[in-house]
Amino acid sequence: SSTVIWTMVITKFGGTSVADLAAMKRVVGIVQKRWKYDDNGPVVVVSALSKVTDQLLALVDLVKHGEMDTLNSRVEDLRQRHLEFSEISGEEFREEFVRGINQTCAELGDLVKELGVIREVSSRSLDAVLSFGELLSSRILTAALSNAGVPAAWVDARMVLVTDGVHTSATPDMASTSARVQSEVAKRLQKKFVPVIGGFVGSTHEGITTTLGRGGSDYSAAVIGACLGVSEIQIWTDVDGMLTADPRIIDSPKLVPRLSFAEASELAYFGAKVLHPSTIQPAVACDIPVRILNSYRQNGPGTLITSQPGDVNSSITAIACKRDVTVIEITSTRMLMAHGFLRRLFEVFDRFQTAVDVVTTSEVSVSVTVDDRQRLTPLLEALSEFAEVSCEQNMALICVVGSRLSTDPGVFSQIVGVLGDVNLGMVSQAASRRNITFVLSEADLSTAMTRMHDHFFSEKAFSTAQNEENLSN
């Protein structure tokens, strides 16, 4: 339904890419280059400065405890942090810049003080507080671009992303958002402006501020990019691209140069934080390539994600993992084989709005993993009404992704072999057979990841795959 047919990209910059003045200058350079050489755009989406969303969440905790003095000083810290960027606005606009930051921070201060009176924060109010991070960062980046001679135009994300009313994890309404993108974003592009939009934030049809869930700026960029029909969605971050494993667990993971949409979705869903799990949906729907790039090393190739399969030569593509997973085992000797049991079971998860990640079944039991423990206690009680229930916390999940998993049965046995004495809980292979998921104790996660990664991505395995690629080129 997109009506814009120009060739242009949308560039999204994460919190670490705008962490401080030096980082912000790099971002300005990247945008400036695209603006110079592309026919149109780019459209810019930016996250809150790194850690700011966490700090806003911490404010809300202080509100709940009525710690008003600390609250004031934390708002003041946030104001100072953002004012550190005033140099970037240029002499001429310095005063206006400082005034803007002061005013926004005063609004934030007023809001949290109001909440402090009743010491209660609804999810609706929480979203209002969280939105300040992106509102501030997008203002700063707009000023920085203008000062560098790029005709940037700040766009209020709340006027663009129309979402449902599920606060703290809202879903965009594509039809309404598309109309708003035409009026708020495309219009500015036609006038040769570079639109700058805060990620993560939206609002309901009624105009109430919402957020898309942690890490949601990627999703904002994909949604807006899809509405504009851009030629590429670029996710600029602090690593070289999608890596073969989480760099916080594995010492030197390798860059994955190409991924299919399906593989990328799977990795994102099962813990590869570099992409918000919903990012791929709008890209798939409009067949728009997604590229992950490092803002600290602009000239790297990054990871290109398209509808095409990734590297078909490597045994596996990448390994994702998630900590802090809860396993629930539901046992019922009488009822499991009876029809209607699974319906009844999952109705409970639906009632308590708890998403299930992995499911395995045996003759008398069903095991599921969940991420979200907010409603765990009532959920377990409801399940206990018709089955025996046990629950294990501090579990982890490993998801191995690769197209060869479906064609080469040897890969699976290699995985199990290399894991050795690591005690595996649930094992699940999707019908697509593009991935295998293991559940294990969190204490074993690092060992299991290291053993698998060493086996599949050691220098030797890697150079072999590279040679094959070179030969085929």
Residues at the interface with ligand ADP (CB under 6 A)? 14-17, 47, 215, 237-239, 242-243, 245-248, 272-274, 318, 320
Is residue 133 part of the contact set for ligand ASP (CB under 6 A)? yes
Q: Give the one entry of ligand ADP, Mg ion, ligand ASP, none that residue 272 binds, where binding means its C-beta sits below a cut-off of 5 to 8 angstroms depending on kind.
A: ligand ADP
Q: Which amino acid is at 222?
A: A
| Backbone φ and ψ of 195, nearest 5° | -70, 135
Q: Cα(246)–Cα(204) distance, rounded to whole angstroms?
A: 35
Nearest distance, CB of residue 18 and Mg ion, angstroms: 12
Q: Are 202 and 210 in contact (CB under 8 A)?
A: yes
Nearest distance, CB of residue 237 and ligand ASP, angstroms: 10
Q: Cα(336)–Cα(367) distance, rounded to whole angstroms?
A: 12
Q: Cα(460)–Cα(454) distance, rounded to whole angstroms?
A: 10
- Going across the sheet that includes 356-361, the strands are 356-361, 365-370, 318-331, 388-401, 435-441, 424-429
User: What burial class does residue 251 get, using C-beta atoms within 10 Å of its C-beta: 0-12 exposed, 13-18 middle, 19+ buried?
Assistant: exposed
In the Cβ-directed half-sphere of 234, how many Cα atoms lie within 13 Å? 23
Question: Would you say 15 or 277 has its CB closer to ligand ASP?
Answer: 15
Question: Would you say 8 or 239 has its CB closer to Mg ion?
Answer: 239
Question: Would you say 17 or 178 has its CB closer to ligand ADP?
Answer: 17
Please tell me whether residue 137 adopts helix, strand or coil conformation.
helix
Is residue 215 part of the contact set for Mg ion (CB under 5 A)? yes
Tokens of 342: 């699974």
10 Å Cβ neighbour count for 85?
Answer: 22
Q: Give the one entry of ligand ASP, ligand ADP, Mg ion, none that residue 53 binds, where binding means its C-beta sits below a cut-off of 5 to 8 angstroms depending on kind.
A: ligand ASP
Q: Give the one entry of ligand ASP, Mg ion, ligand ADP, none that residue 288 binds, where binding means its C-beta sits below a cut-off of 5 to 8 angstroms depending on kind.
A: none
Residues in Cβ contact with 462 at an 8 Å cutoff, skipping those fewer than 6 apart: 254
Is residue 14 part of the contact set for ligand ASP (CB under 6 A)? yes
Site string for ligand ASP, 144-183 (x = CB under 6 A): ----------------------------------------
> Site residues for ligand ASP, window 288-347 (CB under 6 A)?
none
Q: Cα(363)–Cα(439) distance, rounded to whole angstroms?
A: 19
Dmax (CA) for the chain in angstroms is: 77
Nearest distance, CB of residue 294 and ligand ADP, angstroms: 9
Nearest distance, CB of residue 217 and ligand ASP, angstroms: 3
> Site residues for ligand ASP, window 207-226 (CB under 6 A)?
214-217
Element at 112 (helix H, strand E): helix 94-118
Residue of the chain from 40, 53, 142, 265 that contacts ligand ASP (CB under 6 A): 53
Q: Give the one entry of Mg ion, ligand ASP, ligand ADP, none that residue 199 binds, where binding means its C-beta sits below a cut-off of 5 to 8 angstroms depending on kind.
A: ligand ASP
Nearest distance, CB of residue 63 and ligand ADP, angstroms: 25
Q: Point out which residues bind Mg ion (CB under 5 A).
A: 14, 215
Q: Point out which residues bind ligand ASP (CB under 6 A).
A: 14-15, 47-48, 53, 133, 199-200, 214-217
